[in-house]
Amino acid sequence: MRSTRRDFINKMLILAGYTISLSISKLSAANWLASDFRHQAINTTLAELFPDKTLQTSDKIHLKLPRTAENGSVVPITITSSIENIDTVYILSEKNPVPLIAKFSLNPDLETFIGARFKMKETCDVIVIVKAEEQYYQTRQKVKVTLGGCGG
């Protein structure tokens, strides 16, 4: 099969179109993330993320966090839960400059297990909120930081 200059130009235009559409979608995703992850107080973050929602305290969310983090720049966390059909998990730190640490979207059919590491500015509560079937559940655990991680 013989390739012509016209075929080549046609393929290059298609490739350029795909590239432009990908860059536009990445830009819109970056703007969406910037609205959630910004400097503000924990109460403002909670009000914006969960307007008019009741956050029920639950003992079915299990956190594995150190009671004392020797280095605030690397705090490990493991989250498991026996709540059924979890589709979103939020991790927040009360006194971080940006309280929302992470937001995970999960397949509700799978068992919830998340392992991560994050930074903490100072001693405070780490809050984990899960969304399951339009209900919101939360749990908290205090972590003492001996050496700050967010610029400390």
**pLDDT tens, 122-134?**
999 999 999 999 9
Neighbours of 133 (CB within 10 A): 10
Instruction: Provide the whole-model pTM.
Output: 0.75
Locate 70 and state its tokens.
Answer: 């020797």
- Determine the CATH number of domain 42-145: 2.60.40.2470
Over residues 50-107, the pLDDT tens digits come to: 999 999 999 999 999 999 998 888 999 999 999 999 999 999 999 999 999 999 999 8
Q: Is 88 left (phi over 0), alpha (psi -120 to 50) or beta?
A: beta
Enumerate residues 6+ apart whose C-beta is below 8 A from 48. 36
What pLDDT does residue 7 have? 83
* φ, ψ at 119 (rounded to 5°): -100, 145
